[in-house]
Structure 1
Amino acid sequence: MSLINWQPIQSYLKAANKLCWCTKATRFIKLDNEDEGMPSTAMRISILKELQPHPNIVNLKEVDYMPSEKRLNLVFYLDNDLRKHLKSLKSKLPPYEVKLLMFQLFNAVHFCHSRRIIHRDLKPQNILISKDNVIKLADFGLARAFSIPIRTLTHEIETLWYRAPEVLLGQRQYALGVDTWACGCIFAELMEKKALFTGDCEIDQIFKIFQFFGTPSSKEWPNLVNLPDFKPTFPRFKPCKPEEVLPSFDRMGLDLLLKLVALDPAKRISVKEALKHAYFSDLKQEDISRFVI
C-alpha cells in the first residue's frame, strides 16, 4: 500500500504545471538486496537530499515506498531536458544564452564537488531546462561521495560521448576531472549544436579525441603509459585547429573549453576555476544573482 495519498499531489501538480510549466516525473528504483554495507538506493536518496535545495539541482519532492513491489518511486517536478531542447531548435543558441546555461551548470557541479560528490553521468539528457532557461542538474544514479585519497571506482561511467579519456583508457582511480571533461563536451555541444566527440565504441571514442588533440606523448601526459588500455601502437594522429572545428566560439570561450577538456586530468581546470574565467566577465549581475547561493 502506498504511503502517499496521490490525489492532492496530483491536484497540486496540475496547478504547478500552469504556473511553472512543470510536469511530474517519477523514477522507479528497485530496492537493493545487499546484506552488507549501505544499499545503493539509500545512497542515491542520501546524495539527493544532501544537495537540496539548490537553484540548479533538481528537487526531490516525494519518496513513495511500494513494499509490495519492493521499489521506491522518486517524484520530481521538471521540464524539458537539454538534449530535446537542442534538437527542437532550428538554429544555434545565442552565445549569451549558452554563457548563462554554462554558468548554471558550473554552479550546480561546483555545489556537488564542494560537498564531495562526483556526478559521473553529466550529459544533456541529465540536465533539465525550463522555458525561462533555468537548468536543473538531474539523475544522480551514478553519483558517488568521495574522500581523499580517491578510492578505486568503476570505469563504467559517463555516457560514451562525454566520458573522459583517462576513464576510456582504463584508469580506475579518478577524481573531479571526469565531471569537468563532461562539462566541456556539453559546452561544445551547446555552442555548435552537435556533440564534440561522437565515437560508436570506446576505441573509436578515444581515437576521435586523439584526432582533435593529436595522439599524446608521455611528455604531454606523464601518466599516459601507466593507463591499462593505452597502447604504444595507437595511430599517431596530428592535432586539428580548434578554431576551425569549433567556429562558433570566441577567443575566451575557446580558451575555457580547451582548459575543461585538457587530455591530462591533472591539467584540467576545476569548475570552481571555470566560474571565475574571463569568459563570464560580461554576465549581467542580475543573471548571476539568480543562481548564486
Structure 2
Amino acid sequence: MSRRASLSDIGFGKLETYVKLGKLGEGTYATVFKGRSKLTENLVALKEIRLEHEEGAPCTAIREVSLLKNLKHANIVTLHDIIHTERSLTLVFEYLDSDLKQYLDNCGNLMCMNNVKIFMFQLLRGLSYCHKRKILHRDLKPQNLLINDKGELKLADFGLARAKSVPTKTYSNEVVTLWYRPPEVLLGTTEYSTPIDMWGVGCILFEMATGRPMFPGSTVKEELHLVFRLIGTPTEDSWPGISNNDEFRSYMFSQYRPQPLINHVPRLDSEGIDMLTALLLYDTRTRVSAEASLRHPYFLTLTNISHPPP
C-alpha cells in the first residue's frame, strides 16, 4: 500500500501527469494519442479506452493490461502506466515514431534485404517470447509492428490476444483487414493456437520482400481465393480434414496447383523461400513455429543485430 501511495504521489496512475499532443489513430476498441510524460519529459502513446458505451471494451482492455504487464521483452512495446477513471481506461505505452507500414511507404516499398532479415528476426523473437508464455497476438499486420529510429521492431496492440472471436469492424466502424488471417480462421475455426500467428508472419515477410501485400482480399471468399491461387487449393494431403469443412465445400473453389514462390518473391534467397514456404503451410501441425524459425538457416548470415537472449 505504501508503495502504491508513493507512486501515486510521484504521479503514476494520474491522467494529469500526461499531456496529449495529438491523435495517432483509432484502434479496434480505442483511440490512441501521442503524449508526453510530465515526469520524464519522454514521449508516450496514450491508448484511451472509453468505458461507457462499448460492451466488449473493458474486458478486452483489461485482458490487454494483464497480458502486457507481464511481458518484458526488447521486441514487445512496454506498458509504462495504467490510468483508470470512471469514464475511461488509459494505457500509457512507450512511444515509437513509426510502424512497418510507414517504413515500407517511406522506402518506396523497396526494403534492403538485410533489413528484411533484421526485422523478421526481431518479429520472431518477440513472438517466440509470447508463444512460450501461451500468449497469441492474433492481429499481426504491418501497422502493429512499431519501429523506432534505432531500427528496433516491437510488437504492439495485443487487444485481441485472448478474445474468442476476431472482430470484423474497429471501434470507429472501419473494416478490419483480412490480409494476414490464416485460412483456418477464414474458414471458421475457433481452436486458436500459436500457428495462427505464424501465417501472418509469412504474409509480412512476403510484403517486406516485394513491397506489396501477399493476399489483399476484401471479402473472406476473395481472400481464400487469392491464397488458393498461389499456394494451391488445399487437398487432404496438404490439409488433412479439409474435405469435411462445410464452409470450404460451400465455396466450390477451382482446383489450383501451388505456384513456385520464387517466381513471386524474386529478391528472397533460397533459405528465405524455404522459410516462407514453412510459414504458409495449411496444416497447422506442420506450420513452422516462431522458436524453430529463429534457428532457420535464413538467419545464419544475419548482421547488424545484437543477440540478447530470446
TM-score bucket (shorter structure)? 0.7 to 0.9
Distance 1:231 1:276 in 2: 37
Given that 2:99 and 2:147 are in contact with CA atoms closer than 8 Å, whether structure 1 keeps it comes out as yes
From 46, 59, 64, the counterpart of 1:26: 46
Distance 2:15 2:52 in 1: 21
Tell me which residue corresponds to 1:72.
89
Distance 1:228 1:75 in 2: 44
From 222, 240, 254, the counterpart of 1:222: 240
Tell me which residue corresponds to 1:19.
none
1:86 and 2:104 are equivalent in the alignment: yes
Alignment length, in residue pairs?
A: 271
Amino acid at match of 2:209: M
SS in 2 for 1:117: coil
1:269 and 2:269 are equivalent in the alignment: no
Tell me which residue corresponds to 2:70.
50
Tell me which residue corresponds to 2:14.
3
Give a deviation string over 1:183-225, Cα, whole Å, max 9, x none.
Answer: 1111111111111111111000000000001212112211212
Given that 1:259 and 1:269 are in contact with CA atoms closer than 8 Å, whether structure 2 keeps it comes out as yes
Tell me which residue corresponds to 1:20.
none
TM-aligned CA distance change 1:82 to 1:64, over 3 Å: same
- For structure 2, the 5+ residue unaligned runs are 1-12, 20-35, 169-175
Name the one with the larger helix percent: 1
Tell me which residue corresponds to 1:211.
229
TM-aligned CA distance change 1:136 to 1:155, over 3 Å: closer
Amino acid at match of 1:43: R
Tell me which residue corresponds to 2:27.
none
SS in 1 for 2:226: helix
Amino acid at match of 1:31: L
Given that 1:120 and 1:179 are in contact with CA atoms closer than 8 Å, whether structure 2 keeps it comes out as yes
Tell me which residue corresponds to 1:161.
179
Given that 2:109 and 2:210 are in contact with CA atoms closer than 8 Å, whether structure 1 keeps it comes out as no
- For structure 1, the 5+ residue unaligned runs are 17-22, 146-152
Counting only pairs closer than 5 Å after superposition, residues 130-169 of structure 1 correspond to structure 2 as 130-144=148-162, 153-156=164-167, 159-169=177-187
From 212, 216, 241, the counterpart of 1:198: 216
Tell me which residue corresponds to 2:309.
292
Distance 1:26 1:99 in 2: 30
Give a deviation string over 1:145-179, Cα, whole Å, max 9, x none.
Answer: 9xxxxxxx425488300000111111121311110
Shift of 1:245: 1.0
Given that 2:63 and 2:159 are in contact with CA atoms closer than 8 Å, whether structure 1 keeps it comes out as no
Distance 1:48 1:222 in 2: 35
Distance 2:70 2:61 in 1: 14
Given that 1:13 and 1:24 are in contact with CA atoms closer than 8 Å, whether structure 2 keeps it comes out as no
Distance 2:101 2:231 in 1: 25
- For the aligned residue pairs, the C-alpha RMSD in angstroms reads 2.4
Amino acid at match of 1:292: P
Tell me which residue corresponds to 1:128.
146
Tell me which residue corresponds to 2:253.
234
Distance 1:47 1:251 in 2: 37
TM-aligned CA distance change 1:98 to 1:12, over 3 Å: farther
SS in 1 for 2:48: strand
User: Percent same amino acid among aligned pairs?
Assistant: 36
Distance 2:132 2:53 in 1: 31
SS in 1 for 2:285: helix
